[in-house]
Amino acid sequence: MAELLKGSVKTRNMYAEFLERTDGLKRSGIIPGMRIFIASDNAGSAIYASMIAKNCSRAGIGCEISRYGPGTTANDLVESINKANSDDSVHGIIVMLPLWKGIDEKKILASVSPEKDIDGVSPLNAGKLVLGDACFHPSTAEACVELLYAYGYDPAGKHVVILGRSNIVGKPLANILVQKGVDATVTVCHSRTQNLKEICRSADILIAAIGSPSFITQDYTHPEQIVIDVGMNEISDGQGNMVLVGDVDFENVKDKVKAITPVPGGVSPLTHISLIKNIFKAIELKNI
C-alpha cells in the first residue's frame, strides 16, 4: 500500500501552541475572532464551516457562522460583510462558496477587507499571490504545499498536475507552486482538457480538486506518483448513511501509487492550521 500522507499526524501538537498564543493575546486585551458567511444550501459549505468553527474553538479562537437564506441579495451580503470589516472583534472573514444563484461572487469577495481576508480570495490578495508578493494565501492551496514538504516531497523541479481551476484551490495552488523558491512545473487541467488520463499519468505529483466523488482511478496514475486529494464530497453509502469521500477513488488507487492522502484526515487538518495561522497574522498586521 502507498504511504499515507496524513495531515492530522503533522498537526497533533499545534493546537496546544495555538492555545498558548491565544492566551497571551487575551492577556493583552485581544480576543481573537472570525466570521464565516454562508449564503447557499451547499452541504459541503456547511460541513467545512462547522469544521472551521470546531478547530477555532480548539485554538481558543471565537468563530461565528452567519447564514443567509435564498432571498438574500448581493447588497444584503455586502452590507453584512462591511459591518464585519469595521468590527474590531472580527480579525478574519471567510465567505463560503458557492453563493445563491444570482449573487455576484466577484462583488462579494471584493467586499472583504484585504486585511481580514484570511482565505486570500479578495482581488488584492489574489493579485499579490500572482506577483509573488507577501499576502494571505488560500488555506487549502497552502495546505497542499505544506503537506508535501511535511512528508519530504519537495515539489522543486517536479511536474505537478492540478485537476481543477477554481479561484480558491486550483488557480492559487498553481501560482504558489510556480513561485521562485518552490519551483515546480505546473499543468492545470479542467473539464475541457483533452487526453486527461495521459496528462495525469505524466505527473510526478497529482492534485485532485474538482469536486467529483471518486473521479480519479488507477488509470490516471503511475506507481511512483504522489497523489493529493483535495476533494470533500458527501455521498450516501447505500445504507442510508452519508459519508465523506474525495475526488480520488481511494480503494482503487491506494496500492498503485507511491503516496496518497486519505479523506478525511489528509489535506483538511493542514487547511485549518493555515487558516488559524492567518488569523494570528491578521492580528499582528493590525497591531503593527
Q: Report the 10 Å Cβ neighbour count for 195.
A: 10
Q: Are residues 159 and 106 in the same domain?
A: no
Residue count (the chain): 288
Residue 218: DSSP 8-state: G
pLDDT 10s digits, 38-89: 999 988 788 889 999 999 999 999 999 999 999 999 999 999 999 999 999 9
For position 22, what pLDDT does the model report? 97
Q: Are residues 154 and 248 in the same domain?
A: yes
Q: Are residues 232 and 192 in the same domain?
A: yes
Q: Are residues 79 and 164 in the same domain?
A: no
Q: Are residues 58 and 173 in the same domain?
A: no
Number of domains in the chain: 2
Q: Are residues 80 and 42 in the same domain?
A: yes
CA-to-CA dists, residue 65 to 33, 84, 96, angstroms: 11, 12, 10
Residue 122 lies in a domain: no
Q: Does the structure show a pLDDT above 90 at 239?
A: no
Q: Does the structure show a pLDDT above 90 at 12?
A: no
pLDDT 10s digits, 166-210: 988 999 999 999 999 999 999 999 999 999 999 999 999 999 999
Q: Does the structure show a pLDDT above 90 at 29?
A: yes
Element spanning 48, H or E: helix 43-58
Q: Does the structure show a pLDDT above 90 at 236?
A: no
Please give the torsion angle defined by the CA atoms of residues 233, 238, 240 and 244, in that order, rounded to the nearest 10 degrees.
-20
Q: Are residues 180 and 234 in the same domain?
A: yes
Task: Output the domain CATH number for residue 72.
Answer: 3.40.50.10860
- Do 118 and 84 meet the contact criterion of CB atoms below 8 Å apart? no
pLDDT band of residue 241 (cuts 50, 70, 90) is confident
Which residues are paired to 162 by β-bridges? 188, 207
For position 68, what pLDDT does the model report? 97
What is the Cα gyration radius of the chain? Answer: 19
For position 196, what pLDDT does the model report? 97
pLDDT band of residue 288 (cuts 50, 70, 90) is low
Residue 124 lies in a domain: no
Residue 132 lies in a domain: no
Task: Output the domain CATH number for residue 181.
Answer: 3.40.50.720
Q: Does the structure show a pLDDT above 70 at 136?
A: yes
Beta strand residue intervals within the chain, DSSP E: 3-4, 33-38, 62-67, 92-95, 159-163, 185-189, 205-208, 226-229, 233-236, 242-245, 259-260
Average pLDDT of the segment spanning 241-265: 93
Q: Report the 10 Å Cβ neighbour count for 16.
A: 11
Q: Are residues 240 and 189 in the same domain?
A: yes
Range of the domain at 168: 139-267
Residue 283 lies in a domain: no
Q: Are residues 107 and 36 in the same domain?
A: yes
Q: Are residues 36 and 107 in the same domain?
A: yes
Mean pLDDT, the chain, as a whole number? 95
Residue 133 lies in a domain: no
